């Protein structure tokens, strides 16, 4: 290696041992201390995160909480308050008003923005609390590793992919006879879980096995015990792993693009919620309930329900 100034300008010293390393190195070649932003963040995974700002996490928590506050106000006006999974037609109508997605072929064409707005909508107090606690626990590990912009991009995109997977599952793989409303942040949360797993895999961190076991555990817990939206979880998890592999392999640059995409993701998220509020779908649904005496039947998924005419044949 040349010892001239141009060559030395492409080196940086390790903060621990002083050894000179290439500017694109993730870890010190001598002592293994994390050097790059990704490696430094990843070194905190599995440990306690200190005083990081967690800007994207706070924005996502605030936006989801704001939406849920609106849902609570709507439910209160209908004299319903779903503390746990389940609820009556008023719960479904209120969730639809704020952006819940109705699974069916028409979901891709009539109001496609609901594939994003539904990420910020929940069906009960427990549904909201569990998802926000999971988001906080995972994002406080992921955001220091990849930065707020990339976390925002991952959350928004994997949330959409999760609900897209749900539409494919319910219309192509196992078609349902009636439209089914669904909502919740769990697909995007599994996306954050996949993001962490992808970063660990790309950096060949041995802790990826431990985290993969944890991901499987939560998948089984939500999918079997709670019988949640498995298609959204799997879709979000797989997409999240892809983002983790991509972001952990990034070198210098790309910050401006990441910031732009994150800002765009936030703007589109708010726009999807506004479009849902302005949609006449929930009013039409409310009129159908009043005119035909529709009822909500139980679904295998506690985050979904089937709204149908009580005299119609049961859904498959």
Q: What is the mean pLDDT of residues 69-92?
A: 85
Q: Which of 143, 137, 167 lies closest to 155, judged by CA? A: 143
Statement: residue 254 has pLDDT above 80: no
pLDDT of residue 165: 94
Mean pLDDT of the chain: 80
Least confident of 78-82, 287-291, 293-297: 293-297
Q: Which of 22, 26, 3 lies closest to 12, judged by CA? A: 22
pLDDT of residue 281: 86
Q: Which residue has the higher pLDDT, 254 or 16?
A: 254
What pLDDT band is residue 167 in, cutting at 50, 70 and 90? very high
Q: What's the pTM value of the predicted model, to 2 decimals?
A: 0.77
pLDDT of residue 98: 95
15-19, 80-84, 125-129, 286-290: range with highest mean pLDDT: 125-129
Q: What is the mean pLDDT of residues 104-109?
A: 81
The 8 Å CB, 24+ separation contacts for 275-283 are: 275/111, 275/113, 275/117, 276/97, 276/98, 276/99, 276/111, 276/113, 276/114, 276/117, 277/97, 277/98, 277/99, 279/111, 281/96, 281/102, 281/111, 282/93, 282/94, 282/96, 282/97
What pLDDT band is residue 81 in, cutting at 50, 70 and 90? confident
pLDDT of residue 224: 63
What pLDDT band is residue 35 in, cutting at 50, 70 and 90? low
């Amino acid at each position: 290696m040349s010892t001239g100034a141009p060559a030395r300008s492409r080196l940086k010293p390790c903060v621990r041992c002083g050894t000179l390393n290439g500017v694109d190195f993730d870890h010190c070649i001598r002592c293994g201390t994390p050097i790059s932003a990704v490696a430094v963040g990843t070194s905190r995974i599995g440990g306690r995160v200190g005083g990081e700002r967690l800007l994207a996490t706070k924005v996502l928590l605030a936006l989801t909480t704001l939406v849920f506050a609106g849902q609570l106000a709507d439910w209160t006006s209908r004299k319903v308050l779903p503390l746990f999974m389940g609820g009556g037609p008023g719960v479904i109508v209120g969730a639809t008003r704020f952006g819940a997605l109705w699974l069916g072929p028409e979901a891709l064409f009539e109001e496609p923005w609901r594939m994003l707005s539904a990420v910020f909508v929940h069906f009960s107090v427990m549904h909201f609390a569990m998802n926000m606690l999971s988001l906080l626990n995972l994002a406080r590990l992921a955001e220091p590793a990849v930065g707020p912009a990339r976390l925002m991009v991952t959350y928004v995109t994997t949330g959409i992919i999760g609900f897209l997977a749900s539409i494919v599952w319910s219309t192509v793989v196992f078609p349902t006879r009636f439209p089914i409303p669904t909502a919740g942040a769990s697909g995007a949360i599994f996306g954050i879980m996949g993001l962490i797993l992808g970063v660990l895999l790309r950096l060949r961190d041995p802790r990826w096995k431990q985290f993969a076991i944890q991901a499987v555990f939560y998948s089984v817990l939500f999918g079997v015990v709670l019988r949640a939206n498995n298609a959204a979880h799997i879709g979000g998890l797989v997409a999240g792993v892809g983002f983790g592999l991509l972001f952990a392999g990034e070198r210098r640059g790309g910050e401006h693009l990441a910031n732009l995409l994150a800002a765009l993701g936030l703007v589109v998220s708010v726009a999807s919620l506004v479009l849902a509020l302005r949609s006449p779908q929930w009013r039409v649904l409310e009129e159908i309930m009043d005119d035909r005496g529709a009822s909500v039947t139980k679904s295998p998924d506690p985050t979904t329900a089937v709204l149908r005419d009580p005299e119609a044949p049961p859904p498959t």
